[in-house]
Homo-oligomer: A and B are copies of this chain.
Amino acid sequence: MRAARLFAYDKPLKIVDVDTPRVKKSAEVLVRITGAGVCHTDLHIVEGVWDEKVRPTLPYTLGHENAGVVQEIGEGVTAVKEGDRVILHPVVTDGFCRPCRIGEDMHCENLVFPGITADGGFAEYLVTSERSLVKIHDLKPEDVAPLADAGLTAIRAVKKAASRTTSGSHVVVQGVGGLGHIALQLLRCMTNTVVTALDVSESKLRLAEKMGAHHVVDARKDPVAQVMALTQKRGADIVIDLVGNDQTLANGMKMLHKGGSLVIVGYGGTLNLRAIDMIFAEMSVLGSLVGNWDELRELIELTRQGKIRVITKKGKLDEVNDFLQQLKKGILEGRGVVIP
């Protein structure tokens, strides 16, 4: 089968022929991938950012936002059957460690992350585990693939915001890209907060308005002052930082009201955090990492209810490098999806 693989850091992926993977274990499932989202993390992988964290062996196939159709199942599989449309939870977990047993799949003590630590979904087929599948029923894989990571990361961050706010609280979202446009929709259907979106691109601010932001702020023009003005000098209760560079992290802290939380999702930058600032106003800084199986199920439910819609730009597997370039330049609206 054909697959888009990383042979060297800072180089384009190569589309090459590899062996089609096969079901070997009782609980495994072979999925024909018919939608795979292109993510900022793919860019970061190509740049070598993840090398220190996971030390993958090159070459390997990227792609961690996958959806498709069940092609073949292991003999012990009961949760899905051939022909089912499914979305793939981004990690493969053991199911037996305590994090798995309490539902926190991402903290599995033995996880594999296809597309990051192993071969991923920029390919015609992918073998995964029964535990990693959520049925999508009548939804189309290529329409929902980005929910597997962009959407899942957004819902977990939004739930952190939801549990720390009340009706009328103010939530700021920094960055209206693949994650941001979903986060805005989720904030609108999962909370009754006031939502302000920040971005440096005029067209993304227009997108933010369409996705439900009550206010939009051009982040090129003193965004801290603008948020303070919008909140009558009070500051926001929550800032969700989907960008994560030095500037957005520092600004995020400055925008917060007493008792507020900065939810970090985007990465690359560093935050200089003074202890006295953290205690004086009892602030929290919360890292957020993808989400668990039930959050992916919830996201599919909300999509079926018509409350969430992913903006996608579709292309062939060969276009994956084009998508990566557009992402780097910040000119991709919504999410790029390749259809292998």
Residue count of chain A within 8 Å CB distance of chain B: 68
Q: A275-B264, A279-B267 are in contact. Are A99 and B259 (CB under 8 A)?
A: yes
A189 to chain B: which residues have CB within 8 Å?
192
User: Cβ of A288 < 8 Å from any Cβ of B?
Assistant: yes
A276 is contacted by which of B49, B107, B272 (Cβ under 8 Å)? B49
User: In the complex, what's the smallest C-beta–C-beta distance from A121 to chain B, in angstroms?
Assistant: 21
Q: How far is the CB of A67 from chain B (nearest CB, A)?
A: 18
Q: Cβ of B282 and Cβ of A288 under 8 Å apart?
A: yes
Q: Are the CB atoms of B130 and A298 closer together than 8 Å? A: no
Contact yes or no, A130 B96, CB < 8 A: yes
Q: Flag if B76 contacts A94 (CB, 8 Å).
A: no
> Are the CB atoms of A102 and B103 closer together than 8 Å?
yes
Query: Is residue A326 within 8 Å, beta carbon to beta carbon, of the partner chain?
Result: no
Query: Hey, which chain B residues are within 8 Å of A249, CB to CB?
Result: 275
Q: Mark A168-195, 1 if CB is under 8 A from B, else 0.
A: 1000000000000000000001101000
Q: What CA separation (Å) do A25 and B77 show in the bound complex?
A: 11
A325 close to chain B: CB less than 8 A? no
Which residues of A in the span 262-290 have a Cβ within 8 Å of any Cβ on B? 264-289
> A228-244 interface mask toward B, CB cutoff 8 Å, 1 = contact, 0 = none?
00000000000001001
**12 more CB-based (< 8 A) A-B contacts, given A166-B298, A268-B276, A282-B289:** A98-B294, A101-B103, A102-B294, A167-B298, A192-B307, A267-B274, A267-B275, A267-B279, A279-B287, A279-B288, A283-B287, A284-B287
Give chain A's interface residues, CB within 8 Å of chain B.
25-27, 49, 53, 75-76, 78-79, 94-96, 98-99, 101-104, 106-107, 130-131, 166-168, 189-190, 192, 241, 244, 249, 258-259, 264-289, 292-294, 297-298, 301-302, 305, 307
25 pairs from A and B in contact (CB 8 Å cutoff): A49-B276, A78-B94, A78-B96, A79-B94, A96-B130, A98-B294, A99-B259, A101-B294, A102-B103, A102-B294, A167-B302, A192-B305, A249-B275, A264-B279, A265-B279, A267-B278, A268-B275, A270-B273, A270-B275, A279-B287, A279-B288, A282-B287, A282-B288, A283-B287, A284-B284
Of all A-B residue pairs in the complex, the 8 with the closest CB atoms, nearest first, are A278-B287, A267-B275, A282-B289, A26-B26, A79-B96, A168-B301, A267-B276, A244-B275
